[in-house]
Amino acid sequence: MAADDPIRPRPTDNAFLGPLKGGSPEPTYGGVLSFMRRRLTRQLEGVDVVVWGVPFDCATSNRPGARFGCQAIRRASAIFDGDPQFPSGLDPFATLTVVDYGDCSFDYGKIAEVPRLIETQAREILDEGCHLVTLGGDHSVTLPLLRAHVAVHGPLALVQFDAHQDTWEDDGTKISHGSFVTRAVAEGLIDPARSIQVGIRTVAPDDFGIEIIDAYEVQALGPKGVAELVRDRVGGAPAYLTFDIDALDPAFAPGTGTPVAGGLSSADALAALWAIRSLDWRGMDVVEVAPPYDHADMTAIAASAVAQHYMQILAEKAGG
């Protein structure tokens, strides 16, 4: 068949062969997986947004498995590419040049080195002027990510969707998904007076002055009410979004390491996220997807939708 044959299909594997801009025509169930079929590359010249994975879950306090979260989120995200995205109606990739940078490199046998490697590699991406979207991994990865972002942007307001406050005691040496906020406050990475946690339904030793909208309040307020409180709290401060998938009720996200009943629905969480799109976002992560406990990719689908909504937010801000 001739190369210019009109019935010859376009090549698959957009992750390798497709253009940097625009969607991909390949079927959802075929081709090499990358986040929303973006080009797999570490060449960052002219790139607006980098999607990056951190497949680390050695800091979990309950069920492990989030090391497989990056792969699962990428797999679930394939269904989005090639179409205008809801709710914006935009093709984010008509406006933004987005690449999938692959995953963080570390030696699984040298756990103590992992936070430094996450920070160093994230900083290399940020220093190229790219906006970083990170797929976890457990929630401990957010601390070195914050360090890297703060080195570039200065202290940040933290917007955290989560079932847990993650403010447990920390002596400054622990690697734990339950104390990253404690360390972030101690190190001056986040401004507690501008930070807020959404969906909390556990009790921790301290709140460090961070505002909490607990899960029952979320139900009473609805997405618009939650968004109003978040916008009021953060104001015009530069902000970082960290979305622990266990903010969702286990009915919507069973595949996570520390599930807690009584959480948000996927619809309410996504609506709230979209309603705070005007904030001055400087980076984000979505973490704690543990595929071994998932069913029909429910959790991975929800996490990929969180990242997809954030991508639309960036596209809208860029004038898409």
pLDDT: is 292 or 31 the higher one?
A: 292
Q: What is the DSSP letter of 11?
A: P
137 cis-preceded (ω within 30 degrees of 0): yes
Task: Name the percent of the chain lying above pLDDT 70.
Answer: 96
Q: Distance (Å, rounded) from C-alpha 67 to C-alpha 56?
A: 5
- Where do the structural domains in the chain lie, given as residue ranges? 44-317
Sheet with 238-244: list strands edge to edge: 39-40, 98-103, 49-54, 131-136, 280-287, 238-244, 157-161, 196-200, 211-214
Longest dimension (CA), the chain: 69
pLDDT: is 225 or 79 the higher one?
A: 225
Kindly indicate the confidence band of residue 11, based on its pLDDT and cuts at 50, 70 and 90.
Answer: low
Mean pLDDT for 211-231 is 98
Tokens for 110, please give them. 């040298």
Q: Is the pLDDT of residue 7 over 80?
A: no
pLDDT tens digits, 80-97:
877 789 999 999 999 999
Q: Is the pLDDT of residue 1 over 50?
A: no
Q: pTM for the full model?
A: 0.94
Kindly indicate the confidence band of residue 30, based on its pLDDT and cuts at 50, 70 and 90.
Answer: confident
pLDDT tens digits, 132-183:
999 999 999 999 999 999 999 999 999 999 999 999 999 988 888 989 999 9
Q: Is the pLDDT of residue 119 over 90?
A: yes
pLDDT value, residue 283: 98
pLDDT value, residue 81: 72
pLDDT value, residue 6: 59
Q: Is the pLDDT of residue 12 over 80?
A: no
Mean pLDDT for 271-279 is 98
Q: Among 13-27, 56-70, 188-202, 224-238, whose mean pLDDT is lowest?
A: 13-27
Q: Is the pLDDT of residue 2 over 60?
A: no
Q: Distance (Å, rounded) from C-alpha 280 to C-alpha 216?
A: 27
Q: Which fold has domain 44-317?
A: Arginase; Chain A (3.40.800)
Mean pLDDT for 14-18 is 83
Q: What is the mean pLDDT of the chain?
A: 94
User: Which positions ≥6 away from 281 have C-beta within 8 Å?
Assistant: 239, 240, 241, 310, 313, 314, 317
Q: Among 30-44, 115-129, 134-148, 274-288, whose mean pLDDT is lowest?
A: 30-44
Q: Distance (Å, rounded) from C-alpha 276 to C-alpha 257?
A: 27
pLDDT value, residue 10: 59
Using alpha carbons, select from 268, 266, 253 the residue that is nearest to residue 299: 253
Task: Name the percent of the chain lying above pLDDT 90.
Answer: 84
Q: Among 15-29, 54-68, 162-176, 208-222, whose mean pLDDT is lowest?
A: 15-29
pLDDT value, residue 28: 83
